[in-house]
Amino acid sequence: MIAFASNPVNYSNLFAITLPETILEVVSLLALIVDLAWLRRSSQAVRMAWACALGVLGCAASAAWLAAHPSVPALDGNILVATPLVAAAQIGILVLSALVLVLSFKAEFSRNPGEFSAIVLLATTGMLLVAAARDLQVIFVALELLSLSLYVLTAFAKRSAQSAEAALKYYLFGGMSAAIMLFGFSYLYGLTGTTSLEGIAASLAAQPLSPLLIVAFVLVSAGLGFKVAAVPFHLWAPDTYQGAPAPVTALIASGSKVASFAVLVALTSAIIPPDAPLHAASWAVLLLWMAAGSIILGNLAALVQTSVRRLLAYSAIAHAGYMLLGIAANTPQSGAAVLYYALTYALTTVGVFGIIGIVERSAGTDRMDAFAGLSRRNPLLAATMFLFLLSLAGIPPLVGFWAKFNLFAAVLRAGSLGMSGLILVAAAVAASAVSLYYYLQVMKRMYVFKPVRLEPMPVSFVELATLALIALAVLALGIFPAALSNWIPLG
Amino acid sequence: MTPLLTILTAVPAVAAVIALFAGNRAAVARGIAFLSALISLALSLEVWFGVRDGQMKFIERWNWIPSLKIEYHLGADGLGALMLLLSAVVSLMAIAASRKVSRQPGLYFALILLLESGLFGTFSALNFFHWFLFWELSLIPAFFLIKLWGGERAGPAATQFFVYTMVGSVALLLAFMALFVATGSMDFETLSHMAATGELATAIQGHLGSVSMWLALAVLLGFAVKVPMMPFHTWLPATYSKAPTPVTMLLTGAMSKMGVYGLLRLALPIFGHQLAQIRTPLLILATLTVVAGAWAAVVQRDLKRVFAYSSINHLGYCLLAIFAAALPAGPQTAANLSQTIALDGAVLQMFNHGLTAAAIFWFLTLLEERSGGRLQIDGFGGLRKPAPVFCGLMGIALFSSLGLPGLNGFVGEFLIFRGAFPLSWLSATISVLGLLITAAVILTVIQRVFTGPLPDRWRAFPDLTTGERLALAPALALMFVLGLMPQLLLGTVNATMMHLLGGWRF
Amino acid sequence: MLAYTIYLSFAGALLLAVLPKRWHAAARVIALLVALCGLAVALAGFISAGTQGPVAVADLPWIPAMGIHYTLEADGISRVLVLLTGLAAVAGILFSWNIGDKADDRANEFFAFFLALIGGVYGVFLSVDLFLLFVFYEIAIVPKYFLIAIWGSTRREYGAMKLALYSFAGSAMVLIGLLTAYAVAGGQTGNYSMNLHTLAQYHFSTSFQMWAFPLVFTGFAILAGMWPFHTWAPTGHVAAPTAASMLLAGVVMKLGAYGCLRVAMTVFPHGLDPWGFSFLGIDSWRTVFGLFAVIGIVYGATVALVQNDFKFVIGYSSVSHMGLVLLGLLTLTQIGIDGAVLQMFSHGILAGLLFATVGRIVYERTHTRDLALLNKLQLSKAMPFAAWLFVIAGMASMGLPGFSGFVAEVQVLIGAWEAFPWFAAIAGLGIVIGVAYTWRAMQRVFFSDHPAVTADGSPVPIPEYEPVTWAEKAGVILLAGTSLLIGVYPRLLLDVIAPAVQALPHALLTGGHQ
């Protein structure tokens, strides 16, 4: 039974635990107000600069608070928690959103920068809530906040028909998945009598596996599978990645993924309590099939792409597959490994889409040929793209390699997946090898092909500096991975 | 104790490098080569005079590659020292004969010196590793000398020479590696001793199974190609005729002896028992070599080819002696004496034929220079009128080759037959045919070239210059000396062969 | 101290990457200096260590939570191979000297990738932590791709991609094996570690080793060019620019063989045991891979014999020589493995020399590699230096005594004779074919019997070619001199290799593995 007003809510606790989100919401309103009130006559660039700057400040403030107070007592009934692990995820999300905002300040797709920044912050709020939620209802609400914001953002490039189409597809698909997921949640409630994950865990432990439960699992997996773009719920990804404005795609590919995986980890450890092997088997099997499908389809489809965005969309599907493997293993190490992977993957993806944004502004297209000869035109830009792509392919000494190694090692160490786990890890490693081919296609164009025009692409200093910083982080974390993983506690 | 043998081997190699720098200056290059050859001759004489009683002298031993138990082991007994001396003499003769080098004289003489170094190394080595190293190393200069300075279509001949010899070498290598696997040693003396005591057979049987005969055949193949023994001789006529004639001097004078030396130093001591078992087929092949070699010489039109086949014939006698001596073990003391005599003859024949053949080809070089490159047997005639000294001196060499008593060629052949007859009368008897046919060949050559009608174009055939006479004189004098006083060589050789035979078991 | 080989190389690579394009002439000088320093360090390390056992080079905790440490150690085998890398690096840069001639050549990028590759190779040879070894192994893959794709020749994009993907696939196989071993060993003992010695001491179950060994061995053997996974090698080497070919065939293929020995055979020695049943005479993974090695020897040699592109002859000859290395490793005898390591060194030098001749000296000047076309030029007269260089390198490569290859081949064959007599015989056949193709190439290219003639039958005048540069001479002297030195006095290397081989796990060297 849900705790009702018989237990009055501890408002100070609620305030403390939701302060990061509150900060963001306040700043988003501020951004709107500032833009409306004072910047009506200013140029597009100035307005965008202000909006993004405010957004970054908001994220920074929120992150600072989280860093100072990683642990706050959970809300009664444990519907929201604030543990160091959650705080780590949330800080990561905030950093990613901030980076997206910084990389979008030169973007020209929108005449409503204030709204843009505000909705990005709202989406970020949704992500933070998703990461912290431990109650089905809150999870749903938070996911919806996130998703709706993202649908709107996807359509933000009003002059682009592609953007509108992508947003529509995203919305229809997402809406349907959300509905299915809610249906699945309702089954779970029906079977356990509670919406709190803790309660569900306790209740499922006592129950035998029933067909209804399996149906519930399948339905829930639909929603979450959609969010992370796993097979067979991935169909929205290529079009959305291609149609949405670059910063938005960055956001979809980074922060939203981190949040979704965080909630998946939480959900999985609830659904698969330590001593309920039968449940473990069915949920894990579901995840494993999704993982296998994602790894295979994602990598194979990426091989034939000529658009860099679609290539990255399919590769995102593949990476989601790897992470699902980690989730299926269900140990504290594997959970931390998944979070590490998600954070570093997200960071790299933000960088990649930042560069794609720059290239698209100059070349007008995201086809691979737009990158031809980039190493001659903008050496630093090409070098950062080089590092990002290699990291995605899993080449040492970049962080992508360590993330993969860590994840696979954790899966094997867990041993809970047995032979199928071994086979899937082998498949994942093999698929990584295949993925080098398509990443090399882009790198080949940058370094081997001759450029069509020789003058450098216009890049602002801020963008270049940010990208360089991200690239440096990717390299540094690759050489000293402990710097980040020490920071992600296992608890 | 100075490492005389190492110095002997090193001197031509060092001189070769120096000669390379002479580049296109023929006189300088030739001078360097000549000087080096003289020094080598002096050193080899010192070695020869240091070996008296047939024991191994001038021994140098150094642990080279312990993991493979390979030692740098050098030594010279009568057999080795004689071959060293022969190599030095023939090399000197070849260098003296190389007056007109068509191109890159620096490289030419460097290669000749390298070849000489290879010869010295082979004849003084007592461990398979560096014996094989020098054996192979002598192939390379020979190949290039033939290919680059040879006549028309010398390329294919050079390749054929190289390929045949390489195949034989590979067979040798495989056999000796098998021996190493079985015994852990590559040392000739050790292996010979093991063969005599029967340890070798046990070791091979234990490690490899019943492959002794196969190993023996492999080793035999390696040498059969080099000597050459029929039917592995087909590379020789083309190579000898296409090679520049001074190089042919080296090929027939010294390099062919490497094969016979190998039989004496490696095959008989280590695989004596196996050779004794197949003695009869081997004797047949040896006899075939003698007779067929001589017979083939009869039908040749080119003088170089005549003497190429004649070389095959002369070395066939060595083979005859060696295989006749490989008598299955028994208490026949008379046989022991005959074995010694036969082997003495084989060794002497090696030296004498080397000297004689080198001299003959030297004369052919001179003939070639005067005739503008043509050496057809029918292309000459009546030369004794315009060039009596030439004919006289060449006649000496030719008669020595024929085996006229009083010249060095007789001694070896006599001893071979003296020794082989009691050991295998049938082979010896048939081989006498070879003597007769050779006589016919030589006399025919003399008749066609020196006597008979003198064509107009040879009326002004230049005789030997003083320089040439002086150059040739020592060689020819030596032929007389060794013909009349064979004991100069025989004493040491006999002591050596007796010593060696004492250690062998068939 | 030996770790500086790694650091210097990467530092040099970084420096060159940011060097302005205008300084293309300086780029090659910087690269040469870095490589020379690396060689000096390698040589100093080699000499100072003498014949002693493993020398600890570095040991720092890296990711202690996972049991991963930055541990570098150099035993005899590593020291020899590090020395080889140093020599190959210097020679490679000398033979690429012309790349700094024009700004268009992108010299700084070329040498940056080159040094990065070298750094990775040094790292592999020195690593004792398998994670670290794998990291360096992978680092070496990407520069290879770019070196070939940007500066290569025939079908360079295809060759580069094939090489990169095969290498990556091989390393994927290795990673799976390593991950599983790590999980199994750590799980059982509670002490998770990626240290080679720790993992080597752990007794993995025989059934585990029976599949882990072939997986990891094959993964490394792909990079070593083992038949039938060798097809990337000729294509890649031919496509690559000269310095890259020298490095790829000379050193990078040795990474694979080294991995086979250091990782697969050391950590999973019982994977070589007989299976208990026999199929067509094959009774263990040892026999399977031995068979592949021998087939590689003969196949590589035979295919080299029928090639019409000069560089392909050398490319296939590398496959053949590496087959000999693998065969030596699989004999599981002291002498066989000694020979294999020596052959790694010897072939590394000789491959460098051969590719240098073909690529730098001949192709740069004649612009053709077609044997039929080269046959018409009178190259022994037009470029005598190249001709004699190829003679010497060819002799050495075919195993002529007096050069390093002979001792190595003899040792491998002796070891093979003890372990697989039939394979030894077939390998001997391969060596004979080796003589044949080397001879054929030499004849056709340099000492042709059919030079081109003009319409009236007189020979075409000898073309004038650019004279041999000092850089080429220096490179040749370095490599040829080394080969000769080792050929005459192999103890310089053997005395260092033998104790290291003896120190390999006892399970390996049971002298013919029962």
Residue of B nearest to C486 (CA): B65
- CA atoms within a 13 Å half-sphere pointing along the CA-CB vector of C186: 21
Q: Do C414 and B155 touch (CB under 8 A)?
A: no
- DSSP assignments along C468-498, one per residue: PPHHHHHHHHHHHHHHHHHHH-THHHHHHHH
Chunked mean pLDDT (size 10), chain C, 514 residues: 90 89 84 94 90 85 85 92 94 86 80 93 93 92 90 86 91 92 86 86 86 93 92 90 88 94 90 84 88 94 91 92 94 91 94 87 78 80 82 87 86 86 86 87 81 70 76 88 88 89 78 41
**Tokens describing residue B221:** 């193949």
What size, in residues, is chain C?
A: 514
Measure A409 CA to nearest chain C CA, in Å. Answer: 6
Chain C contact for B65 (CB, 8 A cutoff): yes
Is residue A412 within 8 angstroms of chain C, CB to CB?
A: yes
Q: Coil, strand or helix: which one is B185?
A: coil
Other Cβ atoms within 10 Å of B414 Cβ, number = 17
Contacts of C410 in chain B (CB under 8 A): 68, 173, 177
**Minimal-distance CA residue of chain C relative to B158:** C443
Cβ within 8 Å, pair C407-B68: yes
Contacts of C447 in chain B (CB under 8 A): 147-148, 155
Q: Give the per-residue pLDDT at C31.
A: 92
Report residue B264 as tokens.
């004496």
From CA C176, how far away is CA C172, in angstroms rounded? 6
Mutate to test the interface with C, among B20, B68, B130, B135 (most CBs of C within 10 A): B68
Q: Against a cut of 0.90, is the pTM above it?
A: no
DSSP-derived secondary structure letter, A135: B
- Closest by Cβ to A390, choosing from C64, C66, C142: C142
The pLDDT of residue B330 is 64
The closest CB to that of C180, out of A401, A412, A444, belongs to A412
Confidence (pLDDT) at C511: 44
Please give the pLDDT value at position B440.
92
Tokens at residue A129, please? Answer: 């809530």
Contact status, residue C88 vs residue C251, Cβ threshold 8 Å: yes
Closest CB to C428: pick one of B144, B170, B180. Answer: B170
Q: Which two tokens stand for residue B359?
A: 């001299």
**Contact assignment for C135 to A401 by CB distance below 8 Å:** yes
Q: Does A444 touch chain C (CB under 8 A)?
A: yes
Helices A113-132, A44-68: inter-axial angle, 10-degree rounding = 20
d(CA C88, CA C247): 6
Q: Nearest by CB to B65, which of C418, C421, C491?
A: C491
C274-279 vs C282-284, strand pairing mode: antiparallel
DSSP state of C263: I
d(CA C90, CA C247): 10
Test C168 with A433 for CB contact under 8 angstroms. Answer: yes
Q: pLDDT-derived band of residue A279, with 50, 70 and 90 as boundaries?
A: low
Q: Determine contact, residues B113/B19, Cβ cutoff 8 Å.
A: yes
Question: In the structure, what pLDDT confidence band is assigned to residue A278 with cuts at 50, 70 and 90?
Answer: low
User: What is the β-pairing status of strands C68-74 and C55-63?
Assistant: antiparallel
Render the burial of B423-447: b for 16+ CB within 10 Å, e for the rest: bbeebbebbeebbebbbebbeebbe
With an 8 Å Cβ cutoff, is B159 touching chain C? Answer: yes
Q: How is residue C418 written in tokens?
A: 């003890």
The sign of the torsion formed by the CA atoms of B439, B440, B441, B445 equals positive
Nearest CA distance, C61 vs chain A (angstrom): 11
Which of A429, A444, A482 has its CB closest to that of C175?
A429
DSSP-H helix ranges across B58-153:
78-97, 105-124, 128-137, 139-149
Is the distance from CB of B154 to CB of B147 less than 8 angstroms? Answer: yes
Average pLDDT over residues A112-125: 92
The two tokens of residue C235 are 């294509």
Q: Which two tokens stand for residue B52?
A: 């008296």
Asked if the C-beta of B68 comes within 8 angstroms of chain C's C-beta atoms, the answer is: yes
- Please indicate whether, in this complex, the C-beta atoms of C498 and B67 are within 8 angstroms of each other: yes
Report the number of secondary-structure helices (H) and strands (E) in chain C: 24, 4
**Is-contact B226 B256, C-beta < 8 A?**
yes
Q: Do A415 and C17 touch (CB under 8 A)?
A: no
| C7: contact with A, CB 8 A cutoff | no
Find the closest chain B residue to C408 by CA distance: B68
Per-residue model confidence (pLDDT) at position B285: 93
Nearest to A410 by CA among A345, A476, A341: A341
Contacts of C425 in chain B (CB under 8 A): 174
Q: By the 8 A CB rule, do B344 and B490 touch?
A: yes
Of B67, B133, B166, the CB nearest to C401: B133
Distance from CA of A415 to the nearest CA of C (A): 8
Judging contacts by C-beta atoms under 8 Å, the chain A residues touching residue C135 are 396-397, 401
| DSSP sequence for C345-379 | HHHHHHHHHHHIIIIIIIIHHH---BHHHHHHS-H
Chain B CB within 8 Å of residue C385 CB: no
Q: Tell me the shortest Cα–Cα distance from B72 to chain C, in angstroms.
A: 11
Residue B58, C-beta contacts closer than 8 angstroms, at least 6 positions apart: B4, B5, B47, B50, B51, B74, B75, B76, B124
Residue C448 amino acid letter? S
**How far apart are alpha carbons B263 and B428 in whole angstroms?**
19
- CA C205, C210, C213, C215 torsion-angle sign: negative
- Would you state the pLDDT for residue B81? 92
Strand, coil or helix: A332: helix
At B211 the three-state DSSP class reads coil
The DSSP output letter for C464 is P
**For residues B501 and B503, what is the distance between their CA atoms, to the nearest angstrom?**
5
What is the number of alpha carbons within 13 Å of residue B297 lying toward its C-beta?
Answer: 29
d(CA C359, CA C249): 13
> Is residue A131 a contact partner of residue A215, using CB atoms and an 8 Å limit?
no
State chain A's maximal CA–CA distance in angstroms: 72
What's the rounded Cα separation, in Å, for the pair C199 and A378?
46
H/E element, B99: none
Residues 6 or more apart in contact with residue B502 via CB below 8 angstroms: none
Q: Give the helix ranges, DSSP H, for C190-241.
A: 196-201, 206-223, 232-239
Q: Which of B146, B159, B181 to mutate to test the interface with C (most CBs of C within 10 A)?
A: B181
First to last CA, chain C: 41
3-state secondary structure C33-74: HHHHHHHHHHHHHHHHHCCCCCEEEEEEEEEHHHCEEEEEEE
Torsion of CA A66, A71, A73, A75, to 10 degrees: 50
Listed by start position, the domains of chain B span 4-503
CB B278 within 8 A of CB B180: no
Q: Within 10 A of C443 (CB to CB), how many other CB atoms are there?
A: 18
Which residues of chain B have a CB within 8 Å of the CB of C395? 140
Q: What is the band of A252 on the pLDDT scale with cuts at 50, 70, 90?
A: very high
Q: Do chains A and B touch (3 or more CB pairs under 8 A)?
A: no
**Chain C residues close to A396, C-beta within 8 Å:** 134-136, 138-139
Could you tell me the residue ranges of all domains in chain C? 3-502
User: DSSP readout, B13-40?
Assistant: HHHHHHHHHHTT-HHHHHHHHHHHHHHH
- Going from the C-alpha of A126 to that of each of A11, A130, A241, A283, B435, the distances in angstroms are 20, 6, 20, 26, 113
List the pLDDT tens digit at each of the 506 positions of chain B.
688 899 999 999 999 988 888 777 888 888 899 999 999 999 999 999 888 777 888 888 888 887 777 888 999 988 999 999 999 999 999 998 888 787 788 889 999 999 999 999 999 999 998 899 899 888 889 988 988 888 777 888 888 888 888 888 888 888 888 888 888 888 898 888 888 888 888 888 887 777 888 889 999 999 999 889 988 898 998 888 888 888 999 999 899 999 999 999 999 899 988 888 899 999 999 999 999 999 999 999 889 899 999 999 999 999 999 999 888 766 555 668 888 899 999 999 999 999 999 999 999 988 888 888 778 888 888 888 888 888 889 999 999 998 899 898 898 999 999 999 988 889 899 999 889 999 999 999 998 888 888 888 888 788 888 888 888 888 889 899 998 998 888 988 998 888 888 888 78
CB contact under 8 A, A429 and C17: no
Q: Do C180 and A422 touch (CB under 8 A)?
A: yes
Q: Under an 8 A CB cutoff, do C494 and B129 touch?
A: no
Give the pLDDT confidence score for residue A340 in this predicted structure.
92
Evaluate the CA torsion angle B246, B252, B256, B258 in order and state its sign: negative
Q: Which distant-in-sequence residues (6+ apart) come within 8 Å of A181 by Cβ?
A: A140, A143, A219, A220, A222, A223, A224, A226
ipTM for the assembly: 0.85
- Decide: residue B284, CB within 10 A, 0-12 exposed, 13-18 middle, 19+ buried: middle
pLDDT at C105: 75
The predicted pLDDT at position C510 comes to: 62
Judge whether A429 is closer than 8 Å to chain C, CB to CB: yes
